[in-house]
Structure 1
Amino acid sequence: MSKLFKLLSVFLVMSSVSCIGVKKHNTQVAAAHTPEELREDVAYTYKKFKQLHPNLYQYVSESELDRKFDSLKASLKEPMNGEEFYKVLSPVVSEIRQGHISTSFPKKRFTKKERKARKNLKLDFYELDFEYIDKDIYISRTGKKDSVLIGSRVLEVDKKPISTIIDAYRKTFSSDGYNTTFENNYIALRFGRLYAKHSGPLDSVSLKLQNKDSIYTKWFKRYDKTKTDTDVTAKSDSLKPEKIKLTRAEKQAKRLELKQTKKKNKKYGYVKSRDRFNRNFKFLDAAAEVGYFKIRSWTTGKYKEFYEESFTKLDSANAKYLVLDLRDNTGGRLAEIREFYKYLVDDEFQFVEAAYTKTRLPYLKNYYSGNPDIVSVLAQSLSVPILFTHNILKSSKKDGKLRFNYSYAKKTKPSPLNFKGKIYVLINGNSFSASSILSTNLKASNRAVFVGEETGGACNGTVAGFYKLITLPNTKVRVRFGLMQIQTPQKWQEPDGYGIKPDIVITPNAEDRFSGKDAEIAWVLEDIRAN
């Protein structure tokens, strides 16, 4: 009985501490900070950039960036809370013009009771996908509901003009270098997430939409996703539904089916929130001469089996053409794109160079950046000696610069199943990060024809890999940036600061997109027929 009482006491104390912690955090988030505290946070931000960012002045001179940070400090004459400070800091940080840098402001936290109450609440606004077309934002996907919204142009969100919202978001981040295709495309691709970030927890959202000549308002409100229309019927029915008992064989079959589904989901990279796969392969013609990969992201699941399976199909069919669709693929794992590249070349290759860095311990800097809880810190600390030794052994200096010699920089042999036919690559402004690195290798080796728009990621490399996340001491605004300059051996595009340019420029229009015509694929198929 005494043990039970002690456990209950500990639980009550922890719950009380948690509630106090949430209350204290929310008070700090709302609090205004003095101009001196704000200037301290500006100085701290710039200090960390200069200490750890490996290519800080790639797209802006040191004197110009000094001037911008000094100008920001001089302008801070009134108190601000964290969110207000974020709105003046992020535009200056974005002037560094490195697309992997992100900033965020501290948000209100919920108590355990509040989180439990909100757990089953759903807002269908987050089910929507958006696309930037003809200088406007359109709804391109609705999940399982309201498909009639597809093709509607967004005019306002919560009575704010969409153009005003886009202009505000565009100031808070940047592309790599001077590229102009990334920012608007990315805002559309991540619009739901960005709106939630800047508008806080949402209980409802209204969209003013235009579809042809019709203008109307669509409301989205949070609802309990566990309650359905059938619940009402069940309550009014005095008879409980009979529970179906499965036989041993049926249970075994169900377990096997579940196991196979899980295996498939890992291989193809299933994304539950969008009910679709990251990795997709099919033939575009009945004769199986044109293979087609749609890779939405180089993340999620086990990829090696998928690529071996897909290229085996191409090899067995003796396919002559391959279309690689990287539109709206914002990146992912370096290991995965190198694995994929093995199937596209027939000679030994070096995929990337050793990464330039300003720290001998990029793994450890990344490891502790998330400000984890004490349990995580203790668990991670056990790995510190191994990681420290690994980082030191992998680091070396060349031409006065610190380099991290990771395995991706080693010479790699092509796969025996490497595709020898003609390759087309579809790209747009959201082809970023890992997708740009893969595209750079294909472009430099003249291995593919590029169709679409300039990539959002830079052709001559990017600063990513491992990341440092800093929390500013006063406002608690967070800044995240890469610790590694990653680039291919072929730094060949001049001037620097632009993405991979398409050989065939095709900019999508609304009429094609929402009539079911894919203009980029249509051009590829026509080119194949002509040749």
Structure 2
Amino acid sequence: MTICRTLFFLGLLIGLGRSITTAQKITPEQARTDFSYLKRKLDLLHPGMGYYTPKPQMEQLYDSLYNGLTASMDYLTFFRHISPLVTSLKDGHTNLNHKKSFIGKNTRFIPFYIRPVEGQYYISHNVSADTSLHRGTELLTINGRTVSALHTELMEADRSGSDGDNLTGRRQWSLVQFADYYAAWYGWADSITITYRQPADTLIRRARVGCLTLNNFRANMQRRYRNEIDYRPNLSVRVIDTLTHTAILRVSTFMSHKKKDPFQWAFNRRLKRAFREIRNENVQNLIVDMQGNGGGVVLNSAHLLQYWMPKPFTIMEQEEMKKAARNELISRWNPFSALNFSLQYKSNGKGGFANRSSRRRFHPRNRTAFKGNLYFMMNGASFSAATSVLAKTLDAGLGTFVGEACGSAYWGDFAGHFKTITLPNSRIQVRIPLKKLTHAVVADRANGFTVEPDFTVTRSYDDLMTNRDYVLEYTLRLIREGIVARPGINWPATKTRPLQASR
């Protein structure tokens, strides 16, 4: 994920810090009320209860956690106590979030970006006052605990952006947003004690490092690493190799860049402009960069697919929701919402509802269709609607996938519409998806639980030290060597070489 997107998400995905409200004490009665309220809402609304974790196992976990609420506890302890129930869903769209008052302008964060190389953890960007902590410094411990142990615990504590038992999404987000996750799970402090090794040095050193507010964190990033921040706008096109006629299309989100764009027209206009440019530049190899794309509007993912799918297609085979979800889609103040619901949904024969138009067909673009070789750069943070694009492309027998497995499942996910509930006493918030979205794909064409890369690419220490875009470099090497995993269906014949071993 680029530094630009990391800065944007810092402080947004999960609860971020601690204010004076962490001193709040929650009585056993209040805790049990909140916990049973959460369980009831999940049972009523979540379409994936029992999908990844069997219901009897979830019931047993709930009983164990509920019976453990026997003494008063502070807010953060209660937050951590109920987290296992939410994470047991193994659903990347279900988020346990701190109450609104938990974040404040004085919230402070660990002042590093940390990146892994072969099981070790290094500082890639340092925004602390201690400028001796250069890039490539191996970070060993934080407040007496190894970074490896902290990373593992944070991966288990929050499954946002990762479905099922897939590890890539959890690994990606918990490191890209390590400062966020750390503050949310452990609380924040003015400073931390670290042990570390400088590059090309065996001596283990110890230091006390001050933590930064979000504004200071961002300001230092802009000042120290301005040239490394990725300012590419969404859906931008850049020709990067004229010899092989290669261009890169950056798809960072499936949301419109305009706040007020309910029909996503701005997204579609940019998309059309991008593929006109691709056609005019005679691009024969198109790299679609979907690293860090957390999703957005499914309709926009369909619009992107129209530019390379060979035949008319549908995105979703089915969209279903539980009976109680109907009340969340009908507004009392809008007399037409009930009629609109009846027009869009019908009974699914299982006590819930199904979308009448889920199998909407989309037709390929003709004049601006891309008929060359497709390469996809992806990682664990390629999630939700981004996975929909990758799954449909794989299902069509197209594309060469480079990087690491994406975050969502090949079959689909739980998303579409959401209900955010607030627990009555602690005020903790939980975002619950209301729909089960099943991709219109053939199961036998999957290459794993999620979409797996044809070429797995990992960061080397030299990549870290030079801040090299190692996934892009590897993809360009494939193109220059004429290596294509899937040349396409019904497209003009393309010269290809045999698929080689991954890096």
Range into which the TM-score falls when normalised by the shorter chain: 0.7 to 0.9
The structure-2 alpha-carbon separation of the partners of 1:274 and 1:125, relative to structure 1 and needing over 3 Å to count, comes to: farther
462, 466, 475: which one pairs with 2:417? 466
Cα distance in 1, alignment partners of residues 90 and 36 from structure 2: 19
* Corresponding residue for residue 13 of structure 2: none
Please give the alpha-carbon distance, in whole angstroms, between the structure 1 residues aligned to 2:147 and 2:32.
32
SS of the residue 1:327 aligns to: coil
Residue 27 of structure 1 and its aligned partner are, at CA, apart by 6.8
Q: Partners of 1:390 and 1:144 in 2: how far apart? A: 53
User: Under a length normalisation based on structure 1, what TM-score does the superposition of the two structures give?
Assistant: 0.72
Structure 1 residue 136, shift from structure 2 partner:
4.0
Q: What pairs up with 1:73-92 in 2 under 5 angstroms?
A: 73-92=66-85
User: By how many angstroms is 1:294 displaced?
Assistant: 2.6
Quote the residue 1:72 is aligned against. 65
Distance in 1 between residues matched to 2:357 and 2:191, nearest whole Å: 48
Q: Give the Å deviation of 1:444.
A: 0.7
**Which has the higher Rg, Structure 1 or Structure 2?**
1
Deviation at 1:530, TM superposition (A): 2.6
CA shift digits 1:250-304 (9 cap, x unpaired): xxxxxxxxxxxxxxxxxxxxxxx98653443211203471111232333350322
Question: Of the candidates 391, 398, 406, which is equivalent to residue 447 of structure 1?
Answer: 398
CA apart distance, 1:321: 0.9
For 1:289, the aligned partner's letter is H
- Residue 365 (structure 1) aligned with residue 315 (structure 2): no
Give 1:187 deviation, angstroms: 0.3
Determine the C-alpha separation between the residues in 2 that align with 1:49 and 1:62.
12
Structure-2 residue corresponding to 1:61: 54
Q: Is the 8 A contact 1:459 1:493 kept in 2?
A: no
Counterpart secondary structure, 1:55: coil
The equivalences for 1:25-424 within 5 A come to 30-34=24-28, 36-106=29-99, 108=101, 118=105, 129-141=113-125, 149-157=134-142, 160-174=145-159, 175-200=162-187, 203=190, 209-213=196-200, 215=205, 217=207, 218-222=209-213, 277-287=233-243, 289-301=245-257, 302-359=266-323, 365=328, 382=333, 384-400=334-350, 402-405=352-355, 409-416=359-366, 417-424=368-375
Instruction: Indicate the structure with greater helix content.
Output: 1
Post-superposition Cα deviations, 1:80-131, rounded to whole Å, max 9, x if no partner, equal 2332122121123211111111113436569xxxx7xx5xx797867x5444
Q: Which amino acid aligns with 2:168?
A: T
SS in 2 for 1:487: strand
Whole-Å separation in 1 of the counterparts to 2:288 and 2:463:
20
* CA displacement at 1:31 relative to structure 2: 1.8
CA deviation map 1:185-234 (0-9, x unaligned): 11012223223333556655666554413557453445997xx9xxxxxx
For 1:512 and 1:224, the matched residues in 2 are separated by 28
Provide the residue aligned with 1:372 in structure 2: none
Relative distance call for 1:205 and 1:334 in structure 2 (3 A) is: farther
Root mean square deviation, CA, Å: 3.6
**Structure 2 SS opposite 1:432:** coil
Contact kept, 8 Å, 2:410 with 2:446, in 1: the verdict is no
Note the C-alpha offset of 1:401. Answer: 5.8
Q: Tell me the equivalent position of 1:428.
A: 379
SS in 2 for 1:411: coil
Structure 1 alignment gaps of length 5 or more: 1-24, 229-272, 368-379
**One-letter code of the match for 2:139?**
V
Q: Distance in 2 between matches of 1:347 and 1:26?
A: 58
Structure 2 SS opposite 1:464: strand
Structure 2 stretches lacking a partner, 5+ long: 1-18, 220-228, 258-265, 483-503
CA deviation after TM superposition for structure 1 residue 135, in Å: 3.0
> What displacement does 1:385 show?
2.2
Contact 1:298-1:434 at 8 Å conserved across structures: yes
Contact in 2 for aligned 1:361/1:388 (Cα 8 Å): no
CA separation of 1:469 and 1:99: change in aligned 2, threshold 3 A: same
Is 1:207–1:219's contact at 8 Å kept on the other side of the alignment? Answer: no
Q: Which residue of 2 aligns with 1:7?
A: none
Return the alpha-carbon distance in structure 1 between the equivalents of residues 480 and 243 of structure 2.
13
TM-score normalised according to structure 2 size: 0.76
Whether the aligned pair in 2 keeps the contact of 1:137 and 1:188 (CA below 8 Å) is no
Amino acid at match of 2:165: Y
1:402-457 alpha-carbon deviations (Å, 9 max, x no partner): 34437664111122311111111122222221211111101111111112222121
The change in CA–CA distance for 1:205 and 1:298 in structure 2 (over 3 A counts) is farther
Q: CA deviation at 1:162?
A: 2.3
